[in-house]
Structure 1
Amino acid sequence: MPKSEPKSRYQADPIIDIFLDDLWSSRGLSDNTLAAYRTDLRHFDRYVQQANDTLTQASQQLIRDYLDTRFEKGFARTSSARLMSSLRRFYQFLLLKKQIQVDPIAQVKSPKLARKLPDSLSEQDVDSLLNEPNVEDPIECRDRAMLELLYATGLRVTELVSLTMEQLSLRQGLVRVVGKGGKERLVPLGELAVNEVEHYLQGARAELLNGKTSDVLFPSKRAQMMTRQTFWHRIKLYALRAGIATHISPHTLRHAFATHLLNHGADLRVVQLLLGHSDLSTTQIYTHVATARLNQLHSEHHPRG
C-alpha cells in the first residue's frame, strides 16, 4: 500500500519579517505590538496561500473574502478592526517599497466599532481612593505615593512602575516619562504628589529595599520593578476598602486625570501632550466624558436646567 504524501507545512512569506524589521527599526514599536502584527499577517498569509496566491498578488476581493470568513466564524469586530490596521500598514509598506503597484486594501472599509467611553472616577471617589492607604505601613506608603503620582500625571501604569530615580525631579516638580515608541515627555507633578513622593522617599523606600540597591523609584519588597498586574491588584484592593463601586481598570486613574482636567477647563491639546498621545483623536474621546459630566452639572444646578 503506497504511503500518503505528508501535508505541506505552512511557511510564512519572508516579506512579513522584512516588514516587521522595518517597523521595529523605524517606529520603535513594543514587542507586544510587533507580535500582534505578526499574528494578523501570518493568519492572512495562510488564507492567501490556501487560495494559491501570494501577499503581493492578493486582490481586494480576496481580502473581502477573508473578512467574510472571519465574520462567519464569529470573530469580534475589534479583532477584525485590528487586522485591518495591520493589513493597511503592511500594504502601505509594500507600496512604498514598490513591491506592489496598487494598494488592494485602500477601498476596503474597516468594521464600525461602538465608541466605548473609558471608565472613570468622580473627584470624590479619587479622594477616597488616594486616602485609603495607611502611610505608616511601608508598602501602603509606597502605594499612596504611586496613586498620587498616577492621578497627578496621567501616566500609563507601565510608565509608572518602570520609573527610575533619575527620571524624577522633586525640586522642579517634574517627571521625565519614556512612553510608547521610546518617546519622552516632561509632566508636572503638582504639590500634593511631590509631598507624598517626598514622604515615601524619606523612609518607606529604604525599608522596602532592606539594604539592597535599586534605581527603581517604586520597588517591590524584593527590590525589583513591580509588574503592572501587581499594581492593578493593589488599586482594586484600595477601591474595595474605600467602598468604590465603579469598575477599576489599570487605566482608571489615567482616565480620571484627563476627564477632571477637561472638566476644569484644560485645553484638549495640553491634555494630549500630558497623556503622550501622538494623535489628538485619541484624546478626543475624553471630551465626551467631560461633556456628559458638564451636562449633568448644568441640569442639577442651573435654575432653568
Structure 2
Amino acid sequence: MNQNNPPIISRRLSPNINKIVSQFPEEVQEFFLEMISAERSPQTIANYAYDFSLFFDFLASKNKTLYQIEPMIIKRFFRHIENGYERSVYVLIKRTDHRTGSQIEEWIERKHFRENSHSGKQRKRASLRSLFRFLVKNHILERDPMEEYEDATLRSRTKQKVPVFLTKDEALRLVQAVHTYHSKKRRNSWLEARDLAIILLLLNTGMRVSELINLNINSIQTDGSLYRVIIIGKGGKERMLKLNNKAVQSLQEYLEVRPTPTHLNHQNALFLNKNFGRISRKAISEIIKKYVREANLPPKASSISPHKLRHTLATLLLSNGENLRVVQEILGHSSIQTTQIYTHVINTEKDQALDRLEQMI
C-alpha cells in the first residue's frame, strides 16, 4: 500500500473518501466537485463514492473504460453484485518504525462483505443514473447507457413493506432500559445521560441518524422554558422542532455532565463518543441495539434500529389522529407520498383490531 498521502480532491471530503474518489476518472471526479458545490451532505457523497467504487472496479476487471460502457456491461454489473459484494474501506493508521522510532502513516485497505438489499439496489441505480445524466449534460458522453439499460430491463415487482416500529409500551421500555442497564454498573457515567438524551431526542423528533450526529450545541435554541432543535435535513433543508419536557430534561442533564471535547474540530458537537469526539452513525446504532437487548423487546421489535425510531414517531403521531401534512413537515419528507407509507401501518392495525374482535363475538 502506498504510504504517501492520496491526492486531495477536496478538503471538504474525509481522507477515506478523498482516497476513493482520487481513483476515479477525472470526469467522474468533476461530478463529486459539483456535488460539493451543491452542498450535498457528506454521507450522500460518501454513498456515491462507495457505489461508484464497486462499478469502476467491475469495469477494470472487464478492461472497459468510461467511454466503452454499454447497457450490457451495466446489466452484468448488477448481476455481479446481486447477492452481495465486498466493499473496500481505506483506514489511515499510525505505527512506529522499530528501526528509527519515527511515526509512519500508512493506508490500510479493509474489505467487508455487504448484503445487497432492495433499497441498496435502488440506491446504486439512482447513483449511476445521476452520474450518466451529468456526463451527458456536460457533453462527456453522447448518450446515456443507464437510460438504455433501464429501457431494456424488466421492472421487478416489489411489495411495499410496512415499516417496523415500536408500540408506545415498547418505546417506554426502551427508555427505561437505559436506567436499568446503568444501575448494574458500580459507578455513575456521563454515558447514561448521553444515551437517554439521544433516545428521547430520536423518539421526540423522528430525526434521521445523519441529522442527529451533525447536531451542534447551538442547534438547541431556547426561549424561556421553550426548547427547540434546529435540524439540517437532506439537501440542506432546515426545520425547527419543539422538544417535549422529557427530552428537554434529559438534554439539560446531559449537558451538565458532557465532557470537554479533546478534538479541536469537535468542540461544538452536541453528542460525543467515548473518546470525546463527535459521535458516529455506527455508535448510535450500537447504543440502540444495547438497550433493545436490555429491554428484552419481542422479536419484531428486537430488530429496531435508529431509523425505526423515526418510524415509531410517525406511527404514533398518525395513530393519535395527527394530520398527514404535519407529520410530513416534522419528518422533513420532501414528498407527502413518502409519509403516506405510515398510513399502511395504521390500516394494518385496524385490520388486526377487527381480527381480534372475531374472537369476542
TM-score, normalized by the shorter chain, greater than 0.5: yes
Per-residue CA deviation, residues 50-89 of structure 1 (Å, 9 max, x unaligned), is 4xxx534544444445545555999946454333222211
Decide whether aligned partners of structure 1 residues 15 and 112 sit closer, same or farther in structure 2, where only a CA change above 3 A counts: farther
- How far, CA to CA, are the matches of 2:50 and 2:260 in structure 1? 40
RMSD: 3.6
**Which residue of 81, 88, 106 maps to 2:129?**
88
> Greater shift after overlay, 74-83 or 167-176?
74-83
Change (3 A) 1:266 1:301: farther
User: Which stretch shifts more, 248-257 or 127-136?
Assistant: 127-136
Query: Residues of 1 paired with 2:284 and 2:76: CA distance?
Result: 43
Quote the residue 1:6 is aligned against. none
Deviates more, 1:255-264 or 1:130-139: 130-139
**Could you say if the C-alpha distance between residues 21 and 108 of structure 1 is closer, same or farther in structure 2, counting changes exceeding 3 Å?**
farther
Q: Name the CA distance, whole Å, in 2 between partners of 1:256 and 1:13.
A: 43
Cα gap change, 1:244 to 1:294, in 2 (>3 Å): same
Write the mapping of 1:29-68 to structure 2, written as runs, cut at 5 A: 29-30=41-42, 31-43=45-57, 45-46=59-60, 49-50=63-64, 54-56=65-67, 58-68=69-79
Distance 2:297 2:83 in 1: 40
In 1, Cα distance between the equivalents of 2:197 and 2:116?
Answer: 39
**Long gaps (5+) in structure 1:** 1-10
Aligned to 1:3: none
Letter in 1 for 2:296: G
Distance 1:103 1:270 in 2: 39
Amino acid at match of 1:94: L
Aligned partner letter, 2:52: R
In 1, Cα distance between equivalents of 2:289 and 2:83: 38
Question: The residue matched to 2:130 in structure 1 has which SS?
Answer: helix
Contact 1:185 1:276 in 2 (8 A): yes
The residue aligned with 1:219 is 272
Alpha-carbon offset, residue 298 of structure 1: 4.2
Task: Say if 1:155 and 1:211 are closer, same or farther in 2 by CA, change over 3 A.
Answer: closer
Q: 1:288 aligns with which of 344, 349, 353?
A: 344
- Name which of structure 1's ranges 123-132 and 237-246 shifts more when overlaid on structure 2: 237-246
Give me the whole-angstrom Cα distance separating, in 2, the residues matched to 1:104 and 1:223. 47
Q: How has the CA–CA distance of structure 1 residues 68 and 268 changed in structure 2, closer, same or farther, with 3 Å as cutoff?
A: same
- Other-structure match for 2:163: 118
Q: Say if 1:129 and 1:81 are closer, same or farther in 2 by CA, change over 3 A.
A: closer
Report how many aligned residue pairs link the two structures.
288
Contact 1:48 1:58 in 2 (8 A): no
The runs of 5 or more residues in structure 2 that have no matched partner are 1-22, 86-114
- 1:88/1:287 CA distance change after superposition, 3 Å: same
- Corresponding position of 2:215: 163
Show the counterpart of 1:103.
144
- Give the deviation of 1:249 after TM superposition: 1.4
1:240-291 superposed Cα distances (whole Å, 9 cap, x missing partner): 2322122221222111111111222233333232222334443333232232
Sequence identity percentage: 29
Is 1:24–1:34's contact at 8 Å kept on the other side of the alignment?
no
Q: Which has the higher strand share?
A: 2
> 1:241 is matched with which residue: 294, 303, 313?
294
**Alpha-carbon separation, structure 1, partners of 2:258 and 2:318:** 37
Question: Is residue 188 from structure 1 mapped to residue 238 from structure 2 by the alignment?
Answer: no
Partner of 1:177: 231
Within the candidate set 252, 260, 263, 2:319 is matched to: 263
Aligned residue type for 1:124: D
Give the alignment of 1:271-282 within 5 angstroms: 271-282=327-338
Deviation at 1:156, TM superposition (A): 1.8
The residue type paired with residue 145 of structure 1 is: A
Q: Matches of 1:210 and 1:81 in 2, distance apart?
A: 41
> Separation in 2 of the partners of 1:132 and 1:68?
43
C-alpha distance after superposition, 1:202-246 (max 9, x if no partner): xx5333427989433333455432333333333233222322122
Q: Residue 12 of structure 1 contacts residue 45 of structure 1 at CA under 8 Å; is this kept in 2?
A: no
Q: What is aligned with 1:209? A: 259
Alignment of 1:17-36 (within 5 A): 17-26=29-38, 28-30=40-42, 31-36=45-50
